[in-house]
């Protein structure tokens, strides 16, 4: 069974069909790129998959189960997390606290425990475990030395990396990355590619990524899905997509 499957997925805004008849299937451990010209509907697709938008048609199945109608938070708990085009961190909190908050949905202590906080209670035990796990995750990304810095003081590329670490803290089965290389310099982009490879090799996760940086997309994705005007115009291996006339036309505006 596919990890993610969409069936006839679509959404209209007024008269505009931003996404139409969008059908994809992603297996466990795949690294897939979603590309297309500006305004093609890529972020709208992420918003449909993550429950930010409700579709006007079609279905989204995660592990064979429909997730339509679930809230974004419920979808995270089902194993689908994302990063955003514009970095969304708690900028005035430390790097460590940013990751700890992302582990939050795993906590089992109740409200009374978190208010009373008696020594030796479940609250403290879980807090300690979460701190250890957060530090482990930061260490994997070589960020443990930055754990106590404020997120806003990190260089841009490190903020992006922190965002990805936060998304992984929720232990997703599918990770959606929305333009992770946006605004990065070539050195940062190169490191990002290595990080994505690292995630693929060390986490049990599939990745769907939107990216305009063709070098990055062609360099790391096993498979590409190309959309234009909200519809799939091509799917295939990077080398097939590079030579596809429809794709070349869409990017050159023919
Ligand atoms: N909430 C909304 N209300 C109205 N129109 C919307 C809304 N969200 C997206 N759209 C429209 O849907 C279309 C697809 O936008 P979307 O942001 O998904 O494109 P994109 O492929 O992610 O573009 P880019 O590469 O520039 O980020 C655009 O025409 C956009 O204006």
**Is residue 87 within 8 Å of 163, Cβ to Cβ?**
yes
Dist. CA 126–CA 16, nearest whole Å: 48
Dist. CA 83–CA 164, nearest whole Å: 7
Mutate to test the pocket of ligand 1, among 9, 41, 83, 177 (most ligand atoms within 8 A of CB): 41
- Computed over every residue of the chain, the mean pLDDT equals 90
The tokens for 238 are 């990077």
Which band of pLDDT confidence, cut at 50, 70 and 90, is reported for residue 125?
confident
Handedness of CA 187, 188, 190, 191 (dihedral sign): positive
Percent of the chain with pLDDT over 90: 71
Q: Output the residue whose Cα is nearest ligand 1's atom 3.
A: 13
Q: Output the residue whose Cα is nearest ligand 1's atom 16.
A: 41
pTM of the complete model: 0.89
Distance 209 CA to ligand 1 centre (A): 16
Name the β-bridge partners of 62.
4, 65
Query: Could you report the per-residue pLDDT of 105-121, keeping only the tens digit for each?
Result: 655 555 555 555 666 66
Residues contacting ligand 1 via CB (< 6 Å):
13, 18, 36, 38-44
pLDDT at 209: 96
Q: Output the residue whose Cα is nearest ligand 1's atom 5.
A: 13
Distance 208 CA to ligand 1 centre (A): 18
Question: Radius of gyration of the chain from Cα atoms?
Answer: 19
Query: Could you report the per-residue pLDDT of 191-225, keeping only the tens digit for each?
Result: 888 999 889 888 999 999 999 888 889 999 999 99
Handedness of CA 67, 11, 34, 59 (dihedral sign): positive
Q: Output the residue whose Cα is nearest ligand 1's atom 18.
A: 41
| Fold category of 4-88+168-252 in CATH | Rossmann fold (3.40.50)
Percent of the chain with pLDDT over 70: 91
- The residue ranges of every structural domain in the chain are 4-88+168-252, 93-149
Any idea what the Cα angle at residue 187 is, between residues 226 and 88, rounded to 5°?
A: 65
Given a cut of 60, whether residue 183 has pLDDT beyond it is yes
pLDDT at 104: 74
Which ipTM did the prediction report?
A: 0.95
Mutate to test the pocket of ligand 1, among 9, 37, 44 (most ligand atoms within 8 A of CB): 44
Q: Output the residue whose Cα is nearest ligand 1's atom 10.
A: 18
Query: Could you report the per-residue pLDDT of 46-89, keeping only the tens digit for each?
Result: 999 999 999 999 999 999 999 999 999 999 999 999 999 888 89
pLDDT at 166: 94
Name the β-bridge partners of 194.
none
Q: Pick the atom of ligand 1 nearest to 85's CA.
A: 27
Q: Pick the atom of ligand 1 nearest to 53's CA.
A: 1
The tokens for 37 are 């010209």
Across residues 139-158, what is the average pLDDT? 94
Dist. CA 247–CA 227, nearest whole Å: 9
Distance 41 CA to ligand 1 centre (A): 5
Nearest partner of 163 among 74, 95, 209, judged by Cα = 95
Distance 164 CA to ligand 1 centre (A): 23
User: Cβ–Cβ contacts within 10 Å for residue 182, how many?
Assistant: 16
Any idea what the Cα angle at residue 240 is, between residues 238 and 244, rounded to 5°?
A: 115
Q: Pick the atom of ligand 1 nearest to 36's CA.
A: 21
The CB-side HSE value for 129 (13 A sphere, CA atoms) comes to: 12
Across residues 149-159, what is the average pLDDT? 94
Mutate to test the pocket of ligand 1, among 43, 56, 178, 208 (most ligand atoms within 8 A of CB): 43
Dist. CA 199–CA 208, nearest whole Å: 12
Given a cut of 70, whether residue 28 has pLDDT beyond it is yes
């Amino acid at each position: 069974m596919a990890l993610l499957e969409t069936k006839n997925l679509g959404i209209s805004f007024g008269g505009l069909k931003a996404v139409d008849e969008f059908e994809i299937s992603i297996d466990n451990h795949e690294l897939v790129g979603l590309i297309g010209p500006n305004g093609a509907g890529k972020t709208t697709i992420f918003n449909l998959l993550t429950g930010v938008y409700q579709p006007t048609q079609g279905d989204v199945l995660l592990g064979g189960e429909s997730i339509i109608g679930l809230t974004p938070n419920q979808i995270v708990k089902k194993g689908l997390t994302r990063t955003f085009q514009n970095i969304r961190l708690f900028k005035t909190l430390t790097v460590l606290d940013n990751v700890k908050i992302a582990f939050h949905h795993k906590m089992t202590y109740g409200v009374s425990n978190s208010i009373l906080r008696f020594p030796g209670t479940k609250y403290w035990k879980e807090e300690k475990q979460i701190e250890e796990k957060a530090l482990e995750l930061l260490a994997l990304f070589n960020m443990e030395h930055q754990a106590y810095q404020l997120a806003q003081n990190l260089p841009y590329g490190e903020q992006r990396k922190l965002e990805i670490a936060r998304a992984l803290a929720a232990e997703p089965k599918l990770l959606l990355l929305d333009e992770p290389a946006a605004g990065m310099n070539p050195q940062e982009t190169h490191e990002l590619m290595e990080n994505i490879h690292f995630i693929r090799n060390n986490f049990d996760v599939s990745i769907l990524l939107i990216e305009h940086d063709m070098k990055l997309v062609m360099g790391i994705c096993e498979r590409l899905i190309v959309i234009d005007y909200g519809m799939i115009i091509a799917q295939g291996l990077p080398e097939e997509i590079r030579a596809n006339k429809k794709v070349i036309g869409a990017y050159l505006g023919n």
